[in-house]
Structure 1
Amino acid sequence: MRHAYLITVHKNFRILEQFMKVLDQKGTDFYVLIDKKINTCLEKVCTYIPKNSKVIELESLKINWGGASLIEAELNLLRRASTGRYDYYHFMQGADFPIKTKEEIEHFFEINRGCEFIDYEPGNYEFAKYKCDYWHMFVNYPRYRTSKGLKILNHSFVKIQKFFRINRHDRELFHGSALCSITDECAKYILSKEKDIKKRYRYCLAADEVFLQTEIYNSKFRDRLYYNDERYSNARLIDWNRRNGNSPYVFKVEDFDLLINAKNKVFARKFEEDEYEVVDKLYQLLK
């Protein structure tokens, strides 16, 4: 099988380097887009040159948390990689790492060939509705994530829209992780709707956690969604039970056994360089 890893990153370049070392093999390539706000390039922050894989760095893009720029980054990566006609396209970020060997990952996707690995939570309809059924006019401002004033202003504007029963979308919305693995056919379907996606989700809040779930569930690919552990799964281990605010738990070295013994999961999130010991331990096992 052929795999394309589509990676958006703004830090944790040491983890990214180990990520590529573990997965380096023929038929696997890495497409990397660095947040323009970091003002660097891959050559400066990553010294590893894969022996068998190709590394393609895309033009940097300013990525603002919660805004439409993250969807734009993902579509840029997908469009560029789609010319390679891979079996699977894996959306990743700099805080992700494999928890299985490349041979085990290959076997997992081979036995589940044709499935779309997209996480979505049916019970989170109201959350998806809040994010995408109302106009969030301030989320594309660079300071939105850190500005309490902009967040209050945005929420107040949403409350006004709720009062007047404004509804931007005419279909059911779904919410889940922005990280997923999709087939070539599914990738081409998403790209065929690129113009509509950019328009539809332009003024939504964190729509990278809604647009793929919604577009796929409202298409023929709905019947291909991978279902495991009583939910639709993206084959990634993400611990929200020990969450830190709006972010998932950061795995530590004491979580090593939990990570390597996870069933039906081949990647995990979240890792940080200040907890690098667990990443190094995984690397030593998987390399």
Structure 2
Amino acid sequence: MTLKHAFLITAHGGWEQLELLLKQIDHPNHDIFIHVDAKVKGYPKKALEEATKFSKVYIFSKCKVFWGGYSLTVAEIYLFKKAREYGPYDYYHMMSGQDLLLVSNTKFDDFFETNNGKEFIEFKDDQNEHDPEIKRRTKLYHFLQNYRRRFKFQPLNEVFIFFERCSLALQLILHVNRVKNLDWEIKLGPNWVSITDDLVVTLLNEEEKLEKIFKWTNCSDELMFQTIAYNFGFMDRLYHNPFGEDNMRLVDFNRGRNGSPYTFTSNDYDMIMSSKALIARKFSLDTDSEIVDRIIEETR
């Protein structure tokens, strides 16, 4: 059985690197759907669309995306919706433009054929159990979520962060709970997932309710997939990875800063290639182009 894969990529720059990723993914069984942040003007759309020989590349620019805002969730749902219009596919892989595959396309496809029907979603169980901030993400209104990293002038961002904190403090005093009657349990984890068509259909069927819950939620993209999987009977289909993250991704937040993951360098090559992960994030040609070249050559 040959599975069909849709790669869903959110991007806002680094076009040369994104083109390398598209060429790395290029395969007759793979199609690629890209959402480019609508704030970006003048990106090389034609070059990206023509980067592959076998994969079809579809590029959209639905909305302006802001870090931590509901806009990223909207962009992701839109990509799933468009991919399903052109599909359906057996698997949908959520990625960023700063990712790379760590295995060849043949090994990648073989892995999913061996584990066909499994959902590759990572749950942050300890935080789900013990971090009160997770509940506050949906419980309170984050009115200024789009302004905390919006401006190049950092003091202006700090002003909005201050007012956001004042708003949240006031809501706590007033015991605001906008989801007190919610019949779903909210769960946390990375938004980088590989999921089946069944789960995608369920997610799209719940789009209206997802918007109601997450429109004013902080970093809702880290809650959407886990919440759907947990509340709609997909938990017994989760893949459990004995070597690392259940979503088969390698991302290093321990060395990252300001909520962003660490950017891998050539010093990390051996660790990365022995990780058993299928996809890693993040890389930058500006930071270290050598490791990008080495991984692409290794997985060619």
Per-residue deviation, 1:191: 0.3
Distance in 1 separating the partners of 2:285 and 2:134: 31
SS of equivalent residue, structure 2 residue 176:
coil
Per-residue deviation, 1:173: 2.0
8 A Cα contact 2:89 2:197, kept in partner: yes
Distance in 2 separating the partners of 1:33 and 1:87: 20
Identity of aligned residues (%): 33
Task: Give the structure 2 partner of residue 2 of structure 1.
Answer: 4
Per-residue deviation, 1:45: 5.8
Task: Give the structure 2 partner of residue 138 of structure 1.
Answer: 144
Task: Give the structure 1 partner of residue 278 of structure 2.
Answer: 266
2:176 to 147, 166, 185: 166
SS of equivalent residue, structure 1 residue 89:
strand
For residues 101-140 of structure 1, the aligned pairs below 5 Å read: 101-125=104-128, 126-140=132-146
Task: Give the structure 1 partner of residue 26 of structure 2.
Answer: 24
Change (3 A) 1:128 1:38: same
The one-letter code of the counterpart of 1:245 is N
2:166 equivalent to 1:156: yes
Q: Any unmatched runs of 5+ in structure 1? A: none
Distance in 2 separating the partners of 1:207 and 1:258: 31
Per-residue deviation, 1:172: 3.0
The one-letter code of the counterpart of 2:92 is Y
2:60 to 49, 58, 61: 58
SS of equivalent residue, structure 1 residue 127:
helix
2:206 equivalent to 1:200: no
Distance in 2 separating the partners of 1:232 and 1:253: 22
Normalization by structure 1: what TM-score? 0.93
Task: Give the structure 2 partner of residue 255 of structure 1.
Answer: 268
1:189 to 182, 199, 202: 202
Normalization by structure 2: what TM-score? 0.89
8 A Cα contact 2:91 2:197, kept in partner: yes
8 A Cα contact 1:144 1:150, kept in partner: no
Deviates more, 1:123-132 or 1:187-196: 123-132
Change (3 A) 1:193 1:254: same
Task: Give the structure 2 partner of residue 227 of structure 1.
Answer: 240
Change (3 A) 1:24 1:255: same
Per-residue deviation, 1:233: 1.5
SS of equivalent residue, structure 1 residue 273:
coil
8 A Cα contact 2:49 2:58, kept in partner: no
SS of equivalent residue, structure 1 residue 22:
helix
Task: Give the structure 2 partner of residue 238 of structure 1.
Answer: 251
Per-residue deviation, 1:206: 1.0
Distance in 1 separating the partners of 2:46 and 2:238: 39
Change (3 A) 1:233 1:46: same
Distance in 1 separating the partners of 2:229 and 2:294: 36
2:16 to 5, 14, 22: 14
* Deviation readout 1:126-157 (Å, 9 max, x if unpaired): 23213222110111348657511111111121
2:103 equivalent to 1:100: yes
Per-residue deviation, 1:241: 1.9
Distance in 2 separating the partners of 1:12 and 1:160: 40
The one-letter code of the counterpart of 2:206 is K
Change (3 A) 1:144 1:204: farther
The one-letter code of the counterpart of 2:88 is R
Q: How many residues align?
A: 286
* Deviation readout 1:161-181 (Å, 9 max, x if unpaired): 222332233343221111111
8 A Cα contact 2:148 2:160, kept in partner: no
Q: Any unmatched runs of 5+ in structure 2? A: none
Change (3 A) 1:232 1:192: farther
Task: Give the structure 1 partner of residue 89 of structure 2.
Answer: 86
Query: CA-atom RMSD, angstroms?
Result: 1.9
